[in-house]
Structure 1
Amino acid sequence: MGQRILVTPRSLTAEPHPEVERLRQLGFDIVYSTAGAMPTEQELITLVPDCVGWLAGVEPVTPRIIAAADKLKVISRNGVGVDNLPIETLNERGVQVMIAEGANAMGVAELTIGLMFSALRSIPLADAGIKAGGWPRVRGLEIRGRTIGIIGCGAIGREVARMVIALGAKVLAFDPMRPNLDLPSASFAYAEVDEIIAAADVLTLHCPLPRDGSALLTAERLANSRPGQVIVNTARSKLIEEAALLDALDDGRISTYATDVFDEEPPTSLALASHPRVIATSHIGGFTAESVERATRIAADNLLAALRA
C-alpha cells in the first residue's frame, strides 16, 4: 500500500483529474471525499487519518480535523487562500502549507469584470424579466470614464486593474506593498482605503482579511461610500459586515452587491443572496477549465516536492 493523499476540492472530486491520477500512477493511494460536495468536519475526521498529504480546497479545516491527521506532512491548496486553515495549529504540528500561487488569477479577474458589467447594465434583471414574460429596461452605466476602486493588487487585483484601464476606466488602488504595476499614471494611482471607498463608482475586493479577522468594510465605511456604489467581492465574504451591507442595500447607498463568496456555501440563509440588489454566483471565480488545470498541476507538483524532500 502506498502513502495516502486526501483530495477534497469539489472541482476534483466530481470527476477524476489527470494530475491527481498522476499521483496514483506514482504510487500514492488517492482518497477522495464525497464527489462534488463540500466535505463536513466529521467526514474529514474520518478520511484524514493515515494521509501524509492533502490536496485541499476551500472547505473549513478545524483543529479537530488536524488532531486526527496523525501522519499529515503537507497541505497543498489548489488556490491561494488559507483563511480556511488553522495555520497556528498546523505550524505547531509542523505541517507544511503550500499554495497554487497565481493559478486562478485570470479566471477570478475575468469573473470580476463580468460581475461589474452585470451590475452596471442590470443583465440578470433583464434576463429574468424576459424569461418571466416581461420586457424590463433599466438605464445602465458605461464603465468608460468611471472610477474603479481596487483593494489588493496581488495577482488578481493587478489583472483587474489592467482590464478596466483597457476599457477606459480610471483606477484608485490600495495595497500595503504598493507594487509597481507598470500602468499609466493618468489612469492609475494608489490611495488609502477610506479615500477609495468615498470616490469609487465600483469597488472590488481582492485582499485577505485583516490580521485580526475583522471586516474591512464596516458599517462606518459603508456609510461613507460613494452613493450608488457597486461592490464586487470575489475574495472573502467576511471582508464585509453583512448586516451593515444589507442596510446599505435597503436604503440604496450601495446600488448593487455582486459576489462569488458567502459565509456558508451554499448559503443556508438567503437574506443576502436573494436580495433584489444582489448578483450572486456560486464560488466559480477559479472554476474555469484553464484555472482548474493550472491550479491542480501546481498543487500536485507542490505535494510531490514536499513528500519527496
Structure 2
Amino acid sequence: MDRILVTPRSLTLDPPPELQLLAEAGFELVFPPAGRQPNEAELLGLVPGCVGWLAGVEAVSPRVVEAADRLRAISRNGVGLDNLPMRELERRGIRVLKAEGANSIGVAELTIGLMLAALRRIPAADSGIKAGEWPRYRGAEIAGRTVGLVGCGAIGRHVASVTSAMGANVIAYDPFRPDFETSGPFDWRELDDVFREAAIISLHCPPPPGGQPLIDARRLSEMRPRSILVNTARAALIDEDSVRTALDEGRLAAYATDVFAEEPPRPGSFASHSGVIATSHIGGFTEESVGKATRMAIANLLDALSAERVG
C-alpha cells in the first residue's frame, strides 16, 4: 500500500476526520511523534517509501529529500515554502502544492489581537492582577494611528480592511500592489516610508532572498520611537539581537509575535523578554482554518497523486 507522511503539528496532535479521505483513497498514513515538529533524524526514518507528504512548517533538509525515494508530491497546509529545499525538489521533479488563503482569516485575526494586546498592555495587566497587584497602564487606541503593513496578500488585505474599519490610517508596501478596497483610509507606500511613518508595523511577507533579515538594526533605527512591531509571518524576518536591543533601550514599545527561530523557545530565551508578547504559532490554528487548510491540502495531494498514477 502506498504511504503518505503527515507532519503538521495541528494534524498529528488531534488527527481530524478529513484525513480519512486519504485512507479511503487507499493510502496508509504515517505520523511522526504527535504535537511537535519532527526533526531531521525522525524525517529520515519516516519519509522512505512515502509517495506523498502532507507537510507543515517543519524544516526539510536536502538530506531528507534525498531519502524520499518514492516521493511524488508535497502538499503544504499553508502557503509558506521557505522551510523546503525548492531547488532539490525541482531537480527531483517532486511537485509542491500550497493551500492558498486557507488560514488567512485566522492569522489576520490573531495579528489584530496582538496589535490590541500591545496597545493596551493586556498581558502585563493580566500578569499583574494574577500576582495580586492592580496595574493600570495607560494604553493607546488603534483609531487615528498609522498602521503599516509589509505584504498585502490574503492575510495583509484582511488586516488592512479590519484596521481601517477601526479607524486606523493604513499604509502598505507590496511589490505587486493588489487591487482591493477598505472602508477607511488606505495608501500604498515604498518600503522605507512604511517603516518611517507607521506607529504599528505588521509583517506579512516571506524573508528576503539571501538569508538577511528584513528587520535589522538599521531598519529599527528608522522606525518611529515607541512603535510596535507585529510578526505573524516568519521568524527569519527579524534579527533577534537587534530587536532585543531596541526593546531594552525603549525605542521599540513592543514586539508581538507568533513565530520564533526555535519552536518551542528555550526558557530564558528571547521569547521571555518583558517587551515580547508571544503566542505559540497559533495563527492558523483555529477550527475554521485547520479544517479549510486540511481539506485543501488533501485535495491538492490527491489530485497530484492521481495524475501521477494516470501518467
The 2-side partners of 1:283 and 1:275 are apart by: 17
The 1-side partners of 2:157 and 2:210 are apart by: 25
Instruction: Supply the AA of the counterpart residue of 1:120.
Output: L
Deviates further, 254-263 or 29-38: 29-38
Could you say which residue in structure 2 is the equivalent of 1:300?
Answer: 298
Could you say which residue in structure 2 is the equivalent of 1:118?
Answer: 117
Q: Which blocks of at least 5 consecutive residues in structure 2 are unaligned? A: none
Instruction: Supply the AA of the counterpart residue of 1:290.
Output: E
Instruction: Supply the AA of the counterpart residue of 1:66.
Output: V
Q: Which ranges of 4 or more aligned residues in structure 1 deviate by more than 3 Å?
A: none
The 2-side partners of 1:244 and 1:301 are apart by: 42
Q: Would the aligned equivalents of 2:161 and 2:181 in 1 still touch at CA under 8 Å?
A: no
Could you say which residue in structure 2 is the equivalent of 1:264?
Answer: 262
Give the alignment partner of residue 197 of structure 1, picking from 177, 190, 195: 195
The 2-side partners of 1:202 and 1:40 are apart by: 35
The 1-side partners of 2:292 and 2:233 are apart by: 19
Instruction: Supply the AA of the counterpart residue of 1:180.
Output: D
After superposition, give the CA deviation of every residue in 1:252-282 in whole Å (9 maximum; x if it has no partner). Answer: 1110000000001001263321111110000
After superposition, give the CA deviation of every residue in 1:224-247 in whole Å (9 maximum; x if it has no partner). Answer: 110000000000111111111111
CA RMSD of aligned residues (A): 1.0
Instruction: Supply the AA of the counterpart residue of 2:167.
Output: G
Q: Does 1:37 align with 2:40?
A: no
After superposition, give the CA deviation of every residue in 1:118-161 in whole Å (9 maximum; x if it has no partner). Answer: 00000000000000000011100000000000000001000000
The 2-side partners of 1:19 and 1:33 are apart by: 18
Report SS of the residue matched to 1:129: helix
Could you say which residue in structure 1 is the equivalent of 2:231?
Answer: 233
- Residue 105 of structure 1, CA deviation: 0.1
Could you say which residue in structure 2 is the equivalent of 1:70?
Answer: 69
**1:9–1:231 Cα change, 3 Å:** same
Report SS of the residue matched to 2:272: coil
After superposition, give the CA deviation of every residue in 1:273-307 in whole Å (9 maximum; x if it has no partner). Answer: 11111100000000000000000000000000000
The 1-side partners of 2:126 and 2:193 are apart by: 35
The 2-side partners of 1:242 and 1:172 are apart by: 25
The 1-side partners of 2:264 and 2:112 are apart by: 23
Instruction: Supply the AA of the counterpart residue of 1:296.
Output: T
- Residue 193 of structure 1, CA deviation: 1.3
Q: Does 1:164 align with 2:163?
A: yes
Instruction: Supply the AA of the counterpart residue of 1:159.
Output: H
The 2-side partners of 1:91 and 1:296 are apart by: 24
Could you say which residue in structure 2 is the equivalent of 1:85?
Answer: 84
- Residue 106 of structure 1, CA deviation: 0.1
- Residue 211 of structure 1, CA deviation: 1.9
Q: Does 1:54 align with 2:53?
A: yes
The 2-side partners of 1:14 and 1:134 are apart by: 37
After superposition, give the CA deviation of every residue in 1:1-49 in whole Å (9 maximum; x if it has no partner). Answer: x210000001101122111111101111111111112111111000000
Report SS of the residue matched to 1:12: helix
After superposition, give the CA deviation of every residue in 1:163-183 in whole Å (9 maximum; x if it has no partner). Answer: 000100011100000111123
The 1-side partners of 2:293 and 2:17 are apart by: 12
Give the alignment partner of residue 285 of structure 2, picking from 270, 284, 287: 287
Instruction: Supply the AA of the counterpart residue of 1:176.
Output: P
The 1-side partners of 2:15 and 2:256 are apart by: 32
The 2-side partners of 1:109 and 1:68 are apart by: 36
The 2-side partners of 1:40 and 1:272 are apart by: 22
Corresponding residue pairs, total: 307
The 2-side partners of 1:289 and 1:140 are apart by: 31
Report SS of the residue matched to 2:172: strand
Could you say which residue in structure 2 is the equivalent of 1:210?
Answer: 208
Report SS of the residue matched to 1:308: helix
Deviates further, 138-147 or 236-245: 236-245
- Residue 93 of structure 1, CA deviation: 0.7
The 2-side partners of 1:193 and 1:157 are apart by: 15
After superposition, give the CA deviation of every residue in 1:51-109 in whole Å (9 maximum; x if it has no partner). Answer: 00000001100011111100000000000101110001101111100000000000000
The 1-side partners of 2:65 and 2:38 are apart by: 14
